[in-house]
Amino acid sequence: MNPTPQPRNPLHGLTLEAIVTALSHHYGWQELGQRIPIRCFTTDPSIASSLKFLRKTPWAREKVESLYLFMLRDLRRG
């Protein structure tokens, strides 16, 4: 079975690691922790600890994906 093409989905083909890395570079860990107040962003943050938590926590992953989409829209507006 072939996967359905998703040309309009900006998250398609992106790994969670790529999303968290982009957000941490764009906002920095401190602001990221203010925007999404979860411990993996506020206390001794790292990509590895964030991925471990986000992979097990669907509601937090949704917040991260939403912030990533917001960041993309914001960057396009320039």
Digit-coded pLDDT (tens) for 27-74: 999 999 999 999 999 999 999 999 999 999 999 999 999 999 999 999
CA-atom Rg of the chain in angstroms? 13
Domains of the chain: 31-77 (1.10.720.30)
pTM: 0.88
Token reading at 65:
């994906």
Q: Write down the number of H helices and E strands in the chain.
A: 4, 0
Q: Which residue has the tokens 């398609």?
A: 12
